[in-house]
Structure 1
């Protein structure tokens, strides 16, 4: 078998990895396989970014409609089977970020921006801080106030970016979107979009919370723009055992009767535009 990974295809590397008994050699194969997959994915993403740039050059409005609706590309990743221990290369999905397209467009056009104005960068910085401040306020109680991190970003003029309420954040979000989208293209963001971004922009470990960087918040804004442009509801999945379907020894007639009870049916929680939730039974 060919063991020179520099001349091996990805399929050959997988075969060599799965048949290798020496741990050190297997680790070497795995590292080089991951590098090969990384290089292949990088080329796929670069091609997608180039395609988006060409689309923007032809028609900014058409680019934004297409990019907001579908910024995803199919890539590859290495997966290890938990039972057999064997490796394989499987399909994965990668989101192309607006920042990636913006950077490539700027390089090709002497620093020009795809947005109406580069002011959106400072606006997102202040919006990110306000999301952080909102969370700090929500977690504060009298006598135990959560400290808000000091804002050291750009000052934002013309728009009121000082509030942290849902209504204020909605106004700020719409200001950001209108600054990004080309002239003549509008998209009205609603309070559910703010709540979705608020839910997505933080991580937790040992009940300590960390708010995301501006680059991630920008991706989340575009994600909410996709939901809003399509007129769809947000999807909230669950890993809770109480949402799993129960095995049943009932007759079909009994199952049909009990399946009408929401608590006993497997449900997918959907966040509607007005912020309420509804349960949709999953067949």
Structure 2
């Protein structure tokens, strides 16, 4: 009998996410155990068995702590190693740059210093620039600033509210791709189209925009980004410029994988479960 999947959820996890994971488990005879963060008792000792499967689609601080409480080296997860569970996602852009992955030029501002801000704008090639506040979803916290006056007023607000903004070079005339990576391969890719009257983009509702990609520079970059954040599953955002250049924006774990499955018809949940089951078998092999 295959091992169960323990799924760490809370009220923020879309019902579609858990439904697709539960259906994938049912199709393979895997017991689906939902771990509700709101009902988890940290005073009770919970120990998963060797080879059990563990995944956290929830993104809250409490959900991360529940996952860490359940984790063991003998449990199959999407982490490349045990200490990857404690990886600081905010450090990802620096890690990408040090690995030579192509990202838009980025400067993280640590204080509200006008002289430093002018130097950063010059270093990044001038205005317009993108200001990003890490931690948002769906483009929230990503702003396009086209004048010095608008830039400094936004930075004043961000620093006053305790945020650490990033300035990034603006890449116009580019297609925004989301590539879903599992293990060492891209299992789905789709275009994100610009919202009306906005520079930001969102996922397409046209099934024709979704594909199971063949190996390419785009998929190779997505796999490299996933490997850099020490994960075996991620939704990777990449800009493909008209010149042919690629710019890595971010690698998200967890990510909203149902988009590719519900609209594009690609069985991402099944591929996720297959990966965890294969890893579980390796973990249970005699050593």
Range class of TM-score, shorter chain: under 0.3
Query: TM-score, normalization: structure 1?
Result: 0.26
Structure of higher RCO (CA pairs closer than 8 Å, 6+ residues apart): 2
Query: TM-score, normalization: structure 2?
Result: 0.26
Per residue, is there more helix in 1 or in 2? 1
Larger radius of gyration: 1
